[in-house]
Structure 1
Amino acid sequence: METRETRPSSDLPAVAKEYNGVDRNAFLFGFTPQAELWNGRLAAIGFLAYLLWDLAGYSVLRDVLHLIGY
């Protein structure tokens, strides 16, 4: 049986750090690793919202194609 080394919780860092030394979940502006994480999160939420909207029958893409004659 394998034994695992455990350590007290006080040895753990208080926040997750990114390589620039700032909290990974901080809402920072500019070209930072944190901004890229937030950009990805918000893009995923937007994509999911569009998929749900399309499944409900309100297709923006289909309406635009219909307006231009396709």
Structure 2
Amino acid sequence: MADQSGQKTAMQTSEPVGSAELNEWKRGFTPQAEIWNGRLAMIGLSAGMAVVLVSRVFNAG
């Protein structure tokens, strides 16, 4: 909806983002950067848990 001056309000300026745009590598505080931060954090967490698991399995002797 528009207010009395014909301007769109902040709630209605958001538009759906395509999957190609979400996967772009953009710098700054953007939704794309947050997605990449989450992906890289999950890779790091998985790698750390894998190292702990492998070290406990092989050192359980």
TMscore range, shorter length? 0.5 to 0.7
Residue 43 (1) aligns with residue 38 (2): no
Q: CA deviation at 1:57?
A: 1.0
CA RMSD of the aligned region, Å?
Answer: 2.3
Aligned partners of 1:31 and 1:24: how far apart in 2?
Answer: 13
The structure with the largest helix share of the pair is 2
Q: Which residue identity lines up with residue 54 of structure 2 in the other structure?
A: A
Q: CA deviation at 1:26?
A: 0.5
Aligned partners of 2:55 and 2:22: how far apart in 1?
Answer: 38
Aligned partners of 1:26 and 1:55: how far apart in 2?
Answer: 33
Instruction: Spell out, residue by residue over 1:14-44, the C-alpha distance to the aligned partner (whole angstroms, 9 max, x if none).
Output: x816xxxx81111011100000000000000
With normalisation by structure 2, the TM-score equals 0.58
Q: Which runs of 5+ in 2 are unaligned?
A: 1-16, 57-61
Residue 16 (1) aligns with residue 14 (2): no
- How many residue pairs get aligned? The number is 40
With normalisation by structure 1, the TM-score equals 0.51
Stretches of 4+ aligned residues off by more than 2 angstroms: none
